[in-house]
Amino acid sequence: MTASQTAEITGLYRYPIKGLTPEALLRVPLRSGQTLPADRRYAIENGPSGFDPEAPEWKPKIQFLMLARNERLASLDSRFEDATNRLTIRKDGHTVASGDLETAAGRAAIEAYFTENFQPELKGPPKVLSGRDHSFSDVARKVVSIINIESVRAIEAMLGGTAVDPLRFRANLYVKGWPAWSELDLVGQTLAIGQARLKVVKRIVRCPATNVDPVTAKRDLEIPPTLSRHLGHMDCGIYAEVVADGEIGVGDAVAVEEPTLV
């Protein structure tokens, strides 16, 4: 990819609770060294993980309820309110649980729902964990995930024309305008979005969570094996770290910044 090739943000999402519903955004402020505000701020512990909210450290995703193993999470419609820290979970159009995740009573209300409805998947009592400034990311750093829509279209072709909902990839930013798979070559480069700058640090290795339809909650595709057969790897998308503050939004251009000559 040349530095002159720009992309456009077509979708912007956060995931306040790991494994639950993506929330669409129009614009959002980015701060250096941070995720999107409230992205993966909470997780639901699946059995004792040893996570200490007073001294938060990264834990592997197998310690939490997650789509890779618990596809029924996709059948829930959750919404998080920043002003009240309230999570409301709906299923089939009905509210099934609601609570302030920063209070013991609120967390207990959410935990009771999963205790009653997610057997026998539970390895122990489900517990809502608050990360405060911690991010329950799949990787041990605070990142923004980016998916190239053309790469998703290429996967559709690999699957014989089967439609692939881009939300299967649970990215923060969805972009169009780059050739398929060209984003994988951007590791080490810097992306400019308005005043914000993001350094691409890692390719994303896909897991079985992408096999789950985000609408039907059915495990109906085999995306990682398909990538492996066609490309020799299971990568789709990139992680980037915010290195300069700025506000970004849907419709914004994403440019590959020219290296500074010295």
Q: How far apart are CA 203 and CA 206, in angstroms?
A: 9
- Examine residue 259 and say whether the peptide bond preceding it is cis (omega within 30 degrees of 0): no
* pLDDT per residue as tens, the chain (262 positions): 544 589 999 999 999 999 999 999 999 999 999 999 999 999 999 999 999 988 999 999 999 999 999 999 999 999 999 999 999 999 999 999 999 999 999 999 999 999 999 998 999 999 999 977 899 999 999 999 999 999 999 999 999 999 999 999 999 999 999 999 999 999 999 999 999 999 999 999 999 999 999 999 999 999 999 999 999 999 999 999 999 999 999 999 999 997 655 5
- CA–CA distance from 49 to each of 117, 120, 210 (Å)? 21, 18, 24
How far is the C-alpha of 37 from the C-alpha of 175, rounded, in Å?
19
**Predicted pLDDT of residue 131:** 77
User: In this predicted structure, what is the pLDDT of residue 3?
Assistant: 46
For residue 143, which amino acid is it? V
Taking a C-beta distance cutoff of 8 angstroms, is the pair 102, 81 a contact? Answer: no
Burial 40-70 (b: 16+ CB within 10 A, else e): bbbbbbbeebebeeeebeebebebbbbbbbb
Q: What is the per-residue pLDDT for 261?
A: 52
Three-state SS annotation for 229-242 = HHHCCCEEEEEEEE
Enumerate residues 6+ apart whose C-beta is below 8 A from 133: 34, 56
